[in-house]
Amino acid sequence: MSGGDGGLFRPTHADAANSTVPGTAVPHRGEWSPRRAADIQPPAGLIAGGDYAVEATEDGYLAHWPCEHEIPVRSYDAPPGSESDLAWAVETLAFASGLPLRYAGPGAEGEREGDGPISVTYRDHPMFHTDPEIAGLGGVTVWPRGLVLRGSVTLRPDQISPVPGDAWTRSLTLHELMHAVGVDHAVAHGPEVMAERPGPHPPTILGYGDQFALRLVGCL
């Protein structure tokens, strides 16, 4: 699996994690305002750049979506069996982050490039030929001071199972969607969904580092 900067993630039913990380800072709902990464310290036991990472601008602002407007997530060229796993991933991130995410079903071509939504496209990409182990790409368009108004995900169709609930499909989809809300890679082979390279089993339950990163970019 690849995130926005090209890290790798190789190829049960899972529920959204419903626990919280003690000591986590709580962002407030309301009009969008900039956040600085340096102003928020992780709880004891979590290490920035190891257990979690988030997108930031060169001048230190966290990349994050507004909280006051719905963020529709639309699919494009989705293969059979994939829609329920995408909807599951959207619900998981909405629950864990407080972001107003909503799975809006298949999108029209004219909706793909506008500000406001996240597009999830199942198709080929040049990066998949550069490194055949890359299974997906995700990222955000960041405006000054960290404002995010658009996110995108591209998934390799041959990495998506036609059987809903497949752990690999869910882990891949969740990982790339987390890139599309501003979360970056955790250390390789760790327990996090955002691990740059996973362990022997694809994770489908958010780790503590994942949860903290989602709260940094979220609206809880």
Q: Which residues have CB under 8 Å from 134's CB, separation 6+?
A: 1, 2, 6, 8, 127, 128, 156
Res 162 pLDDT > 90 = yes
Sequence ranges of the domains in the chain: 59-217
What is the value of pTM for the model shown? 0.85
SS3 128: helix
The fold for domain 59-217 equals Collagenase (Catalytic Domain) (3.40.390)
pLDDT band at 108 (very low <50, low <70, confident <90, very high): confident
> How confident is the model at residue 23, as a pLDDT?
43
